[in-house]
């Protein structure tokens, strides 16, 4: 068990190593003179403006987004009260010659991880405002320092990466509090947690209720991107997005002209790891259609909205339940 930092090592003066053969950390004894001095805060792991090292910011990949252990701030008076220039894009309004109140994110990288796609989209879409959204504190700090270092890099052109930022938040809970209706053009979900267990399926980032929130912040023609290396999760994405009345899938021919698809496939750290392992990647892209178009197609009406099969999810749920029952039977036989 490690010795606490504020505990004096009673064996500091021992000339012989401990019997167990392990190295013992020796703490300096606190004197009256040093105790009276002001405590100097420790040096940060990464100085502001320097590129962080990923090994100091690794954090457990799996996280429960439905937990109430963490609290996140959001504007009490709605998305219009959010000042994005104060912390995220301090120079962007001046560079674009816009009013500070008009600066807001237009492209979201939900679950951005270590920020590979966020940074790539910043260069790929210089006229858009990119926001990476991450729930893990240490990973968020890594991305913030990474963007800060890129902005300060002498080799970067003037204004480069000023349109990118990162925010620690829980997208499953706070998205409508941060973004107004039809204010976001693109949303990316790259290699999200599969949450394999059936009881954890409500934690998946693509679900019927959440798709309705995504449809709220996307304008007509806005795009939703999802990629994973887990085939069953890809099938889940397709089944839920196909069934939702606000989205239609975009064909491969049209996607060939979208540079964001290649960035999504190749730019994320997780995507690079999958490529090194030689594993396949599965992705889909959906377009937000207008409410009028959805009603014209008859996918959902006021009368049928609450029916269990309106979004064609009854068959999906039944299939999952049947698979669980079959698995239980096999386990009992064994």
Residue 331 pLDDT > 70: no
**Residues 177 and 74: beta-carbon distance below 8 Å:** yes
pTM: predicted TM-score of the whole model, two decimal places? 0.78
Mean pLDDT of 115-125: 97
Segment 247-275, tens digit of pLDDT = 999 999 999 999 999 999 999 999 999 99
Residues with a known catalytic role: 193
What local confidence, expressed as pLDDT, does residue 19 receive? 53
Greater confidence, 159 or 284? Answer: 284
What local confidence, expressed as pLDDT, does residue 322 receive? 43
Segment 188-217, tens digit of pLDDT = 999 999 999 999 999 999 998 899 999 999
List, in sequence order, the alpha helices (H) in the chain: 32-36, 92-96, 116-124, 137-152, 171-178, 208-217, 231-243, 252-255, 259-266, 269-276, 291-297, 314-333
Q: In whole numbers, what is the pLDDT of the chain averaged over residues?
A: 82
What's the farthest any 2 CA atoms get from each other in the chain? 86
Percent of the chain with pLDDT over 90: 58
Q: Are strands 186-190 and 223-228 parallel, antiparallel or unpaired?
A: parallel
Q: Which of 166, 102, 176 is nearest to 130 (CA)?
A: 166
Q: Which of 213, 127, 138, 134 is nearest to 167 (CA)?
A: 134
Give the confidence band of 115 by pLDDT, cuts at 50, 70, 90: very high
Lowest mean pLDDT among 36-45, 76-85, 107-116, 169-178: 36-45
**Residues 111 and 205: beta-carbon distance below 8 Å:** yes
Lowest mean pLDDT among 43-57, 107-121, 169-183: 43-57
What local confidence, expressed as pLDDT, does residue 68 receive? 78
What local confidence, expressed as pLDDT, does residue 101 receive? 86
Query: CA of 302: how far to CAs of 218, 244, 314, in Å?
Result: 22, 15, 19
Q: Which of 263, 314, 255 is nearest to 286 (CA)?
A: 255
Q: Which of 311, 112, 326, 312 is nearest to 198 (CA)?
A: 326
Segment 277-329, tens digit of pLDDT = 999 999 999 999 998 888 887 666 655 555 555 454 444 444 444 454 444 44
What local confidence, expressed as pLDDT, does residue 31 receive? 44
Segment 160-191, tens digit of pLDDT = 999 999 999 999 999 999 999 999 999 999 99
Residue 149 pLDDT > 90: yes
DSSP code per residue over 235-261 = HHHHHHHHHSTTEEEPPHHHHTT-HHH
């Amino acid at each position: 068990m490690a010795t606490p930092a504020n505990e004096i090592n009673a064996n500091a003066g021992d000339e012989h190593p401990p019997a167990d053969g392990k190295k013992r950390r020796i703490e300096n004894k606190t004197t009256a003179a040093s105790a009276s001095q002001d405590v100097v805060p420790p040096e940060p792991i990464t100085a502001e403006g320097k590129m962080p090292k990923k090994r100091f910011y690794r954090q457990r990949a799996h996280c429960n987004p439905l937990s109430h252990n963490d609290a996140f701030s959001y504007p009490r008076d709605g998305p219009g009260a959010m000042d994005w220039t104060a912390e995220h894009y301090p120079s962007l309004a001046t560079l674009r010659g816009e009013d500070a109140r008009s600066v807001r994110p237009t492209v979201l990288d939900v679950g951005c991880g270590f920020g590979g796609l966020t940074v790539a989209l910043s260069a790929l879409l210089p006229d858009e405002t990119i926001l990476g959204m991450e729930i893990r504190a240490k990973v968020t700090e890594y991305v913030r320092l990474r963007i800060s270092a890129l902005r300060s890099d002498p080799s970067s052109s003037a204004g480069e990466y000023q349109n990118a930022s990162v925010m620690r938040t829980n997208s499953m809970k706070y998205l409508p509090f941060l973004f107004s209706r039809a204010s976001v053009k693109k949303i990316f979900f790259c290699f999200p947690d599969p949450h394999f267990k059936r009881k954890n399926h409500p934690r998946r980032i693509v679900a019927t209720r959440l798709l309705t929130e995504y449809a709220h912040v996307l304008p007509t023609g806005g795009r939703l991107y999802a990629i994973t290396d887990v085939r069953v999760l890809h099938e889940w994405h397709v089944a839920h997005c196909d069934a939702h009345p606000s989205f239609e899938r975009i064909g491969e021919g049209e996607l060939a002209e979208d540079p964001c698809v290649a960035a999504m496939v190749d730019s994320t750290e997780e995507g690079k790891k999958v490529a090194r392992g030689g594993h396949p990647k599965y992705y889909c892209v959906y377009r937000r259609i207008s409410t009028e178009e959805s009603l014209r197609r008859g996918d959902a009406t006021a009368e049928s909205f609450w029916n269990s099969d309106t979004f064609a999810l009854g068959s999906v749920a039944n299939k999952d339940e049947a698979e669980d029952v079959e698995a239980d039977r096999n386990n009992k036989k064994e």
